[in-house]
Amino acid sequence: MTHLLQVSVIKRRPAFLLDASFSAPLPGVIALFGRSGSGKTTLVNLIAGLLAPDEGEIRLGEEVLTDTRRGIAVAVERRRIGYVFQDTRLFPHLTVEGNLRYGEKRAARAPPVIGFEEALALLGLEALLARRPRQLSGGERQRVALGRALLARPRLLLLDEPLASLDDARREEVLPYLVALRDRLSIPMVYVSHDFDEVLRLATHLVLLAGGRVLADGPVDEMSLSRELQSIVGPELVGAVVEGLVTRLNTAEGSAQLAVGTGTLQVSLRDVPVGASVRLHLLARDVILATQPVQGLSVRNALASTVIALSDDDFGAVLVRLDVGGAVVLARITQGARRALGLQPGDAVWTLVKAVSTRGHAFRIVPGS
Amino acid sequence: MNGFPSSAELDALRLSLEVAVRSVAFSLPLAVLAAWVLTRVRFPGRLLLDAFVHLPIVLPPVAVGYVLLLLFGARGPVGAWLRTHFGIELAFTTAGAALATAVMTFPLMVRAVRLSLENVDRGLEEAARTLGAAPVDRFVSITLPLMLPGILAGAVTAFAAGLGEFGAVITFASNVPGVTRTLPLALYTAMQSPVGDALALRLALLSFALGLLGLIASEMLVRRVRRYLGR
């Protein structure tokens, strides 16, 4: 059953003004994305109820959690909104089991999101139950914090940069657990991050924040084409997010064939079954355009496409928006290349995509979403 | 009377322990409450309350005893009320000595408890809130256990100090053998007696030993609890 998280709040701080509105469909993973200081954590604390807005309202489905005009402010402890803090905030005087049971005991009447044993298995916590938080590694702590929040039977899970305090190896250790949560439990999540790679791997809906304001929000593939996102991630990470279906695997080569739009795409991809949905981030700087069929190149994909539009990006280059069999792809080329090719909207071009330049951006999305 | 320990010393020791235990038992909950109010509640008279709690440190103990006598004495407003409604007598009783001791050691206890409360990470309480814990539940399940080192330190220090409270006790509860004659009062009495030198020395040594023991025990207890709390 789908419903909406609707947020429209104003919070004034001595040196900061948060004035943010967005509405996003659930279940799914809503990413609040922006640089540090953009108001992400403040926004999450407002949703949790740990902060009260000066004005505004917050609704989860039909329920009004906060409405300053009507004087409604549901107490934090009655919101049933799980919160995974960046610094985990595990209770030092309790064991891992004590921490996990803390919320579970206090939510006995709510419908469970996940059983205790199931949570242990999903998060790999069986061996840690008797330990104290200080005896855990950073990744383990974060997994316990996740389990603790889930077992409190939340309707919505807030995750405030849960991976920010971890090194790359630990991050890779925890990320698959988050993906598993999204895919196996239909628990709606709000995920705060300043790392676009995490957003790509987890989010279904993207809210872009800068200076306490929502620049734009929408589905991730749509937002990947937006100028607002480009202004946050910078020219190097600009690129279309496209979704495709695995149609064939070449295990020996570690590559897969994807159906994207009406075309097919060869990509480097492992550990994904045929039939899986995959999300690709095609970095605009890695996409090559040709006005004629090319031969003798190592590039694995040459796709017939049409130029939709051309625009100067804010960094001196040109962004070309292309229709590739119904999917929209971005290419970043120089002004000189544009002149040399004489590109105009409506032109037929070949879009060249290296299979390996998509690696690492594979994404298994929620079935049906 | 020459054997060690003589009954006078035993009486004094037993009384001192009883008075100290009762004073700690009485003042501990109040000290936690006072520390909580002073740390967590913002209200106009906070500075005044803070000063009031600490007053026994700067006042002459005799003055504190005298004020207690005025309030809790048989004819004092509170004393008379307690006597008619509950049959409780405080002046010149062991309970009275415990009350005087409690008042004198209160600032010590509040100080330790307050310090531990200030060190409790508010973030943990917020986390407990998001996990469905209402205020009282939160205090009992998170805040109080995390304050335990400070509470224990406060209690043991107040207990050790309470063993030796003199001025307020002698003023409010007088110096009744077997009733309010605690270690320091017995020591003082022995010093007044022409033949009490040996007894006075033994009582003094006993006081030293008790005080030392109390402080060491306090430190050990705090360490153990800290370890338990995972610090």
Place of tokens 């010093």: B191
CA A253 to chain CA centroid, nearest Å: 28
Q: What's residue A243's pLDDT?
A: 86
Average pLDDT over residues B180-189: 91
Average pLDDT over residues B14-41: 94
Average pLDDT over residues B138-166: 91
Q: Which of residues 112-151 of B touch A (CB under 8 A)?
A: 121, 123-124, 126-134, 137-138, 141-142, 145-146
State whether residue A110 is helix, strand or coil: coil
Q: What is the 3-state secondary structure (H, E, C) of B63-103?
A: HHHHHHHHHHCCCCHHHHHHHHHHCCCCCCCHHHHHHHHHH
User: Which residue would you say has higher pLDDT here, B45 or A91?
Assistant: A91
Average pLDDT over residues B56-64: 93
**Neighboring chain A residues of B133 at a CB cutoff of 8 Å:** 77, 102, 106
Average pLDDT over residues B177-191: 90
B6 contacts B199 by C-beta, under 8 angstroms: yes
A142 contacts A94 by C-beta, under 8 angstroms: no
Residue A218 zone, left/alpha/beta (φ > 0; ψ -120 to 50; rest): left
Give Dmax over CA atoms of chain B in angstroms.
70
**Neighboring chain B residues of A91 at a CB cutoff of 8 Å:** 124, 127-128, 142
A20 contacts A213 by C-beta, under 8 angstroms: yes
Interchain proximity B124–A76, CB inside 8 Å: no
Interchain proximity B131–A133, CB inside 8 Å: no
Average pLDDT over residues B103-121: 93
Average pLDDT over residues B154-180: 90
Q: What's residue A76's pLDDT?
A: 94
Q: What's residue A360's pLDDT?
A: 46
Average pLDDT over residues B162-171: 91
Residue B6 pLDDT class (50, 70, 90 cuts): low
**Neighboring chain A residues of B230 at a CB cutoff of 8 Å:** 92-93, 132-134
CA A310 to chain CA centroid, nearest Å: 27
**Neighboring chain A residues of B127 at a CB cutoff of 8 Å:** 83, 85, 89, 91
CA B109 to chain CA centroid, nearest Å: 7
Q: What's residue A358's pLDDT?
A: 67
CA distance B122 to chain A (A): 10
Q: What's residue A206's pLDDT?
A: 94
Look up residue A196 and give its DSSP letter: H
Residue B5 pLDDT class (50, 70, 90 cuts): low
Query: ∠ CA A158-B230-B26 to the nearest 5 degrees?
Result: 105
What span, in angstroms and rounded, lies between the C-alpha atoms of A326 and A242? 10
What span, in angstroms and rounded, lies between the C-alpha atoms of A160 and A85? 5
pTM above 0.95, yes or no: no
Interchain proximity A76–B137, CB inside 8 Å: no
DSSP sequence for B125-161: HHHHHHTT--HHHHIIIIIHHHHHHHHHHHHHHHHHH
Interchain proximity A77–B145, CB inside 8 Å: no
Give me the average pLDDT of each 10-residue run along chain A (369 residues): 88 92 91 91 95 95 93 93 94 95 90 91 92 92 94 94 85 85 86 89 92 93 89 87 88 87 85 83 90 86 92 88 92 92 93 74 45
